[in-house]
Amino acid sequence: MNIDQQRVAILSIGLDPREEEELQAVFGSKYALERFGGGAKGVFSPGTNSAVLAFVSWRGMNGQLAGLTRNYFSREDFPSRVLILDAAVAQSDLERIVDAGFSAVIRYPFEPERIRELVDHAAESRGIYKDLYHMAREICLEREILSRQADLLQFFNKILTRASFSLDPIEILHQAHEDLRILLEVKSVDAVFWQRSRDRNMEAELFIHEHDSKAIQDRLIQFLLEHAARHAEEKITAYHVTFMSRIESMRDLTEVKDEDMLILPLRFGGQSFGCICIASERIARLGRDRLQTILAAVNHLSLALRNALLYREMRIKADRDALTRLPNRQYFDERLLQEMKRHQRYGHPLSLLMMDLDHFKRLNDTHGHQAGDMVLEDVGRILMSSLRSSDTPARYGGEEFVVLLSNTTEEQAWILAERIRESIAGWRFHFKGRFFRITASIGVASLQTGVFSSSADLLGKADAALYRAKNKGRNMVCSFTEEEECRQFA
């Protein structure tokens, strides 16, 4: 950088060479006088914006003063101006001088002290102006940063508050879908969670939205399972899918592409327990700030989803039999009351199976109670594999089981009972190198449409049918309404 570039600029407008030479001599080496190069289009010359002062000759610019005032002097970044009266000025021209907005007026020949005073004052004012200008810019930037931070805090508070209000994973995911739409165009928000089963295998549970295309659903399931295995660092041996209902703002997926899917791990206590999948066509164009915001939001969701899963697990444990993993009697009684109300309101058929394992005490005495527990577990699996998702099986006590069949006639219940009885009778139970078989007796009872009955009536009828099956030789299905309809198998 040369010396001229380091010196502070002062503009010369309309001054002749002699006047410029005299001014430069007064300034000394600290300042550099530059001729203003503005054109008709209002283009400033280099250094115009950084100049501290402009000296304007009345004689040299007398005819162009109005144009300068209009094109240049009105600009905020044009430096302060000093008018040099180097020619006679008529009284009528004084108004033009005032309108032009000059900061000072001096006569020629120059008074050096007055010139130095004006230049020093202008330099000081220019420095103060620049400081104030930069301070104002910094304040504006800080206000913008604070505004963004306030928006982010409001966004995080909204997500955390809404997520904390619910202990239902589906509701939390639906709310996350709505909240994340503030940041990007979200098509769907799905999730996969994993945990170890009692036999130490890794099992997964998927929460995905219903889509018009089954192929899309299958591809999404495969996509989530692949990422679950990657984050869990172990093969997923079994999984269960929970389909979430569509929400109004949800857009249907036409294909599952990696570049449109943002998979983020869910962590608790330093361990990953699931992944959340955000589908959007704008994933690849996400900026760093917005991506960090989404990551922070998902960290908030991790705690809410973990609490929801723990709560559901506790509910399942409270409502399930620890051995067979079937619903327990307390849960069954609540479910029976609900189905009774539905039956009385809509008139849908309702049936009940009551089942007892034959000679179970003899099995315990012969093979031991551990063998008996193993049989109960296997029977629980047989029931679950034989029923619809709308059916409700339960361990009713000891070796006794019940199955509540909604919207099922007695004839349909009879057919199902036969299938279950055959499955149990044909099962080869194995315990510590020994194989054995066991049979079951089943009683069937149904409620007729339009006939008012209580839950105790239905239970009593099914129990009576089971008692008849036991008395007639076991390993059979008996109905309460048709006493002769009992089938026995060797």
Interatomic CA distance for residues 262 and 283, integer angstroms: 7
Q: In this structure, how many other beta carbons lie within 10 angstroms of the beta carbon of residue 405?
A: 25
Cα 169 to Cα 48, 134, 201, 454: the distances in Å are: 64, 50, 23, 35
**What does the block give as tokens for 212?**
């018009």
Is the pLDDT at 344 greater than 70, yes or no?
yes
- Domain locations in the chain? 3-131, 169-319, 329-488
What strand order describes the sheet that includes 350-357?
Answer: 392-397, 400-406, 350-357, 440-447, 476-479, 486-488
Q: Is the peptide bond before 109 cis (omega within 30 degrees of 0)?
A: yes
* CA distances for 180 relative to 163, 260, 277, 304, angstroms: 13, 15, 12, 16
**pLDDT tens for each residue of 309-335:** 888 888 777 888 888 989 999 889 988
Amino acid present at 383:
L
Q: Which fold has domain 329-488?
A: Alpha-Beta Plaits (3.30.70)
Q: Is the dihedral of CA 113, 118, 121, 122 positive or negative?
A: negative
Please name the CATH architecture into which domain 169-319 falls: 2-Layer Sandwich (3.30)
Give the whole-angstrom CA distance, residue 484 versus residue 490: 18
Q: What digits encode the pLDDT tens for the residues 354-390?
A: 999 999 999 999 999 999 999 999 999 999 999 887 8
CA distance 477 to 355: 9
For the chain, helix, strand, coil in percent to 5 are 50, 25, 30
Q: What is the pLDDT of residues 77-88, one digit of tens each?
A: 778 888 888 888
Answer whether residue 67 shows pLDDT above 60. Answer: yes
Tens of pLDDT, residue by residue over 383-432, are: 999 988 788 999 998 999 999 998 899 999 999 999 999 999 999 999 88
CATH of 3-131, one of 3.40.50.720, 3.10.310.30, 3.40.50.2300, 3.90.100.10: 3.40.50.2300
Report the predicted TM-score, pTM, of the whole model to 2 decimal places. Answer: 0.48
Angle between the N-to-C axes of helices 329-346 and 455-471, in degrees from 0 to 180, rounded to the nearest 10: 120
Under DSSP, the state recorded for 181 is T
With 0-12 CB in 10 A as exposed, 13-18 as middle and 19+ as buried, what is 427? middle
The pairing of beta strand 434-436 with beta strand 440-447? unpaired
109: left (phi over 0), alpha (psi -120 to 50) or beta: beta
